[in-house]
Structure 1
Amino acid sequence: MLSVARFHLLWLAPAVVLGALEVDLDSEDSIKAAAKEVAYDLMKYYHGNESGQIPGVLPGPPPAGDYYWWQGGALWGTMMDYWHYTGDETYNDVTFEAMQFQVGENKDYEPTNWTLSLGNDDQSFWGMSAMLGAEINFRDPPEGKPGWLYLAQAVWNTQAAPDRHDDTCGGGLRWQIFPGNNGYDYKNTIANGCFFNMGARLARYTHNDTYAQWAIKTWDWIMDMHYIDDKWNVYDGGHIPANCTDINKQQYSYNAAVLLLGAAYMYDYSNQSKEWEDRVNGLLDGMERVFFINGTLYEPSCEGGICKADMLSYKGYVHRWLAAATQVAPFCKDRVLKLLRSSAEAAVKQCTGGDNGRQCGFHWTTRVYDGQTGAGQQMDVLGALCSLLTANAKAPVTNSTGGTSVGDPNAGSRTTSLPENAEITTGDRAGAGILTAFILATTIGGAVWMGWD
């Protein structure tokens, strides 16, 4: 257990070799102290606040670094939760700057700089972090800057537009936004699950039933596609040329978790309907069976095989989203918190790596550091620790229970996600060859990753 004196020593002299991360899971103060150490180690991977760097993004994309644009949005959601659960404001300024810097030209988290690897799910991770900002009353932007609610509504509106929700496979969102991106012919659970999640949360926050009706429609489509089966296995998606019937039955923990959190919000919005309660319990049944081994979170899609950098961050989202679900659907609280505690205990045990002897790996079930460090692994353990602090944390607010974020129901709806083609001139053709050579050099790494659909 960390003493207060030792903790202050660590913060003032973080370069000292310290030994394993220590935490008493029965003490909120100890959990917060350990979370502060993990947060410090996590933020060492971020350089966007340094001279000459891009605010908001982690180093990348490959080959320039391990991380894609969407993981920046995931990082700031993690840091917002860190502040919400611990009260530590150390990283609030950099979080605020990052979330505002990446809003894009149309203030809808669709910046043109990242279109080569911009999927609906990528945009949604920034949108869900903005939604979290509204729900926990994170610092409101000044006048003239888009509020968190506005940004979440903008993302949702761009995705609800007809150019995103086409008739192929009977509806639903494609994985990718732009036709030139590999994966545009794939409709998957994470893209639609994020849209469902945001719709449920916007419905609860604004009391606007339009969002809820879209959430129900999206849930029904996912079920109709059999992306969720009768045993509550949650599969990844299907390809449009096969009418989305060639289901990829790979299971990823964040697919199930993003749906479970959305279902929990729908339970609260619907005045605790039995239907949504059953869906939360069903998804929890499936998650406990597939993703937890002896109470410890496990990612079957990559543990024992090859894990991409994005997969290495899924466990943190699972912990954070399951914890949030207990605040809006308290019937699952005892069951969920028991899982989160046992999983967090295993996670902390293996945080013995790095120069300071406390950085975290990914394979929690072994309780032994696996020699692999990264931003994803740190986000995972930070999410795990914060998930144990829900007891004294304020539940997500709404615009009638203390929410202060300014929104606009039409945000994002005045733009089109598909760029219109201007008339091609001779000058355009002359410059195309030069541009093509440059673009090819910068997209090879992204194309390889995008091929993993």
Structure 2
Amino acid sequence: MMHKSATLGLLAAAGSAFAALQVDISSTSSIKAAAKDVAFDVMSVYKGNQSGEIVGLIGSPPPVGEYYWWTGAVLWSTMIDYWHYTNDSTYNAVTVQGLTAQNGPNLQSPFMPPNWTASMGNDDQGFWGIAAAKANEAGLPAPPKGEPSWLDLAKAIFQVQTVRYTDSEDACGGGLRWMIVPVNTGFDLKNTASTAVFLNLGARLYHATQNETYADWVEKGWTWLTTIGLVDDKFNVYDSVSTIDDCAKANKQQWSYNAGLLLETAAYMYAQKSSKSADSKETTTWKTRTTSLANRTVSHFFSADQGVLVEPLCENAGQPACTQDMSFFKGVTLRSLAGAAVLVDELRDPDHGVGQALRATAQATAKTCSGGKSGRECKFDWTGHAADQNAKLDGAPVEINALAAVLGPLAVESASGAGGNGNGSGSNGGNGNGSGSGDAGSGENGQSGTDDGNAGASLRVGMGVMVAGLVAALI
């Protein structure tokens, strides 16, 4: 049983095929049952296993479809967490298939499939690298014979990005550019998201391999973020800088996923450093970064009255509506906060900070899952009093966010050994030790880079730019 009771029984919508989502936040079995329902709904919007659809992606990227390539990585990261914290292997096979399908032709082009490479950002590729690292940590069943291991894929992406990082250090002294291809809009930006996913991946690899080279890179990148002003002394995390003015002025928009990714990065580093020496200077430094960033993230991105996650720049009154890209950020943030809490004892207090925020958000999210034809479709707004500019957001991002929210308290509980499947040590150095491949057929249906204030928020601008011959010259 979990810390305290906050039963969220919801009545079924009249005439609905399913009941509204029901979850007792004090009960592990109730949370797992609710997560199972939401996972079913998440995978119901995945069409990649249907004829004529793209395996591994939620749908066709713009301009044909709604969802950019990177969001496929968010889907599979969420489903890996679902399995890891519930031990339900139903979707393992389709997860393995989806990740493998979007890998590149070889380890020199990891997660750089030719169809999307010419419009790819470093953050896009980095999210797929994090998914591979998660698969390794959780012990997801191995890729098909002949394919590289999850760990080798994660390592390959990090290696490719270290080369790009080094190549662009003459511009502003460090950081990753947003876009990979020079002719694409946004190449002049060094956005926090690209560097954050790079550092998050590096911290995971350090935790998995004990190789100090990864730790050196994480320290190097973190120092650059603070020196250039993208992380300030109050642990606000800002959006981007431009190489056009030598990164002189940060775009001070704050998006939740940037803070979340860096918090999880710090937590990985703190956990690993403290395992080597509890009172070393490095351990103390990473502890301070972890706890300070956790406190600022909760105070800035969680509503003061309810303690529920919001995306202030596109969810609060007076702000423009969230784009489809932005609508995925909250799920990324919640998974990052849960991951940090699993690693660091200080973040698991159910009545304070991250632990309390995860519980409050799970509770609030479940209350919104009572709509649509199923009677349990969730909403993007979890506070109940936000502006209505996002009322039309539904489908994949909303359900993925809801699953991340419901899993949050379960992830925290798993750190004490009471939940989860026990497969992921974060340092197993391999993969394929999962509990089963699952039934792939179950539960499924078979603006940034401009001066308008959205510079690094992953809204693709000019992504239709395709130049023949660029793919072969990217690395």
Q: Same fold (TM over 0.5)?
A: yes
Deviation at 1:18, TM superposition (A): 2.8
Q: Deviations over 1:200-240 (max 9, x none)?
A: 11111101100100000000000001101122111001110
Match of 1:344 in 2: 362
Match of 1:434 in 2: none
Deviation at 1:20, TM superposition (A): 2.4
Determine whether 1:224 maps to 2:227: yes
* Higher RCO (CA-CA < 8 Å; seq separation 6+): 2
- Name the CA shift for 1:342/1:449 in 2 (closer, same or farther; >3 Å): farther
Match of 2:208 in 1: 205
Match of 1:433 in 2: none
Unaligned stretches of 5+ in structure 1? 4-9, 407-444
Match of 1:438 in 2: none
Deviation at 1:116, TM superposition (A): 3.8
**Matched residues in 2 for 1:93 and 1:164: separation?**
38
Match of 1:21 in 2: 21
Query: Contact 2:41 / 2:399 at 8 angstroms: preserved in 1?
Result: yes
Residue type of the partner of 2:406?
Answer: L
Q: SS of the counterpart of 2:23?
A: coil
Q: SS of the counterpart of 2:378?
A: coil
**Matched residues in 2 for 1:384 and 1:403: separation?**
29
Instruction: Say which of 245, 251, 276 aligns to 2:248.
Output: 245
Residue type of the partner of 1:366?
Answer: G
Q: SS of the counterpart of 1:270?
A: helix
**Matched residues in 2 for 1:55 and 1:302: separation?**
31
Unaligned stretches of 5+ in structure 2? 1-6, 414-418, 433-458, 466-475
**Matched residues in 2 for 1:31 and 1:142: separation?**
32
Q: SS of the counterpart of 2:29?
A: helix
Give the alignment's TM-score, normalised by structure 2: 0.80
Match of 1:326 in 2: 341
Query: Contact 1:350 / 1:367 at 8 angstroms: preserved in 2?
Result: no
**Matched residues in 2 for 1:89 and 1:2: separation?**
26
Give the alignment's TM-score, normalised by structure 1: 0.84
**Matched residues in 2 for 1:81 and 1:234: separation?**
25
Match of 1:275 in 2: 285
Q: Deviations over 1:289-315 (max 9, x none)?
A: 210003100101211322111111111
Residue type of the partner of 2:336?
Answer: W
Instruction: Say which of 353, 368, 374 aligns to 1:356.
Output: 374
Instruction: Say which of 151, 168, 172 aligns to 2:171.
Output: 168
Deviation at 1:449, TM superposition (A): 7.0
Match of 1:287 in 2: 297
Residue type of the partner of 1:203?
Answer: Y
Query: Contact 2:150 / 2:430 at 8 angstroms: preserved in 1?
Result: no
Query: Contact 1:183 / 1:450 at 8 angstroms: preserved in 2?
Result: no
Deviation at 1:332, TM superposition (A): 1.7
The structure with the largest helix share of the pair is: 1
Which has the larger displacement, 301-310 or 174-183?
A: 301-310
Alignment of 1:71-150 (within 5 A): 71-107=71-107, 108-150=110-152
**Matched residues in 2 for 1:346 and 1:275: separation?**
34
Match of 2:313 in 1: 301
Deviation at 1:288, TM superposition (A): 1.5
Deviation at 1:63, TM superposition (A): 3.0
Q: Deviations over 1:399-434 (max 9, x none)?
A: 4xx44339xxxxxxxxxxxxxxxxxxxxxxxxxxxx
Residue type of the partner of 1:154?
Answer: A
**Matched residues in 1 for 2:425 and 2:102: separation?**
25
Determine whether 1:193 maps to 2:196: yes
Q: SS of the counterpart of 1:187?
A: strand
Count of aligned positions: 402
Match of 2:237 in 1: 234
Query: Contact 1:227 / 1:247 at 8 angstroms: preserved in 2?
Result: yes
Deviation at 1:58, TM superposition (A): 1.4
Residue type of the partner of 1:377?
Answer: V
**Matched residues in 2 for 1:301 and 1:450: separation?**
26
Over aligned residue pairs, what C-alpha RMSD do you find?
2.4
Deviation at 1:448, TM superposition (A): 5.1
Query: Contact 2:184 / 2:463 at 8 angstroms: preserved in 1?
Result: no
Q: Which runs of 4+ in 1 moved over 6 A?
A: none
**Matched residues in 1 for 2:131 and 2:371: separation?**
29
Match of 2:446 in 1: none
Deviation at 1:115, TM superposition (A): 2.3
Identity between Structure 1 and Structure 2 (%): 43
